[in-house]
Amino acid sequence: MATPPFETHAAQLGSLKRDSRLRALASRTGKDFASNDYLGLAGSTLLHDALREGMALGLPAGSGGSRLLRGNHAAHEALEADAAAHFGSEAALFFAAGFAANAALFATLPQRGDLVVHDALIHASAHDGMRLGRAETCAAAHNDAQGFDDAIIAWRAQGGTGRAWIAVESLYSMDGDCAPLAELAQVAARHDAVLVIDEAHATGVHGPRGAGLAHNLAGMPNVITLHTCGKALGCEGALICGPRVAIDFLINRARPFVFSTAPSPLIAHMVRRAIALVAGHDDWRDELFARIAEARRALAPRLGVDSGTTQILPVIIGDDARTMRIAASLQRQGFDIRGIRPPTVPQGTARLRISITRNVSMGDIGALTESLDRIMIPA
């Protein structure tokens, strides 16, 4: 008798359910303590206005082809020019999504014979890109600059002769901590390495005019930064920023760029306006950081949240099932907080990921604190 076509898939889903790791789509309800819309732009009338402006200019909704065919539009080029200027790089390249940009970067730029040393907690998209690429790879302990140095030294001692690449995030989305960028830049300089910095969760929030945590490194000839447009910028897509030669190489060799339909020119126009808005509103960042400070003041003594300064506050629970029960209880009380489980985070570190945005008020933060006081009792 023939085996049902998706029997093994069903078995794997059953296993995930038994382990309290089955994912499912959930609608957005309650106060926003889950999104990456840090500055509250995604649903703003300001971006609606930018979209209407683009429509009034006659920008097409669809590009009609890849950038190397007829899909290239002046709106894409204008965005890339503005992005390079804002983020301090020689050139920029727009992708439809951050995952595609990260995967394209690591699949394309490091060459056969090179070594990519990546932070142990780097994003899944970087891992997928490295798997598609030709370079050797190895992990360094999280935020351990000496670990990166040691890995490159060991590789050279074993006969490695290519280029070393150092791959990190400036702000880690599940831990809320920041990479030691100055130390990593020194490691890169010592080894003539390229430093790749994913600024996804720092773009728009950190640095002067929201230019990111790597703003003072971005113009260096051995530095590449990636800025997603779907978080603090409130839109979608991503920008790889770096030396012109690296951008030209991606245009010629990055398969996710060469063989993908170009992003909507309307969206490119909206991202361009979002960058200008974010650059001109330090007051938005001031409001956000006031909320962050209050959340950390209120939650740190209760939940073991550290006294950092970023907008991401992880509350480590440990047990997968308990994490999801607590998240569900908070959701029933009107707080949109999601539980994060392995393999997104390491085994035994299931957590609540509390994200502070301008979409919540000081009063909302106080109400969440009271709810957590009631819920966070010993297992």
Q: Is residue 316 part of a domain?
A: yes
* 163 & 304 share domain: no
Give the pLDDT confidence score for residue 136 in this predicted structure.
98
pTM of the entire predicted model: 0.94
73 in catalytic set: no
**CA gap 104, 80 in Å, rounded:** 17
Q: Is residue 16 part of a domain?
A: no
Q: Which one of 118, 206, 231, 269 is the catalytic residue?
A: 231
Residue ending a domain, among 237, 256, 279, is 279
The torsion of the CA quartet 275, 277, 278, 279, rounded to 10 degrees, works out to 80
169 in catalytic set: yes
* 184 & 75 share domain: yes
* 207 & 334 share domain: no
Q: Which of 20-24, 170-174, 178-182 has the lowest mean pLDDT?
A: 20-24
Q: Is residue 129 part of a domain?
A: yes
pLDDT over 70 (residue 377): no
355 in catalytic set: no
- How many residues does the structure list for the chain? 379
Percent of the chain whose pLDDT exceeds 70: 97
The residues near 51 (Cβ < 8 Å, ≥ 6 apart) are 266, 269, 270
CATH number of the domain within which 306 lies: 3.90.1150.10
CATH number of the domain within which 97 lies: 3.40.640.10
Number of domains in the chain: 2
Report phi then psi at 119, rounded to 5. -60, 140
Residue ending a domain, among 263, 279, 295, is 279
Q: Which one of 102, 125, 143, 173 is the catalytic residue?
A: 173
Domain range for residue 296?
A: 26-43+282-375
198 in catalytic set: yes
SS (H, E, C) 100-138: HHHHHHHHHCCCCCCEEEEECCCCHHHHHHHHHCCCEEE
123 in catalytic set: yes
Instruction: Name the amino acid, one letter, at 180.
Output: P
Q: Which one of 31, 32, 36, 336 is the catalytic residue?
A: 36
127 in catalytic set: no
Q: Is residue 237 part of a domain?
A: yes
What does DSSP say about strands 238-242 and 350-355: parallel, antiparallel, or unpaired? unpaired
* 193 & 97 share domain: yes
173 in catalytic set: yes
Band (pLDDT 50/70/90 cuts) for residue 20 is confident
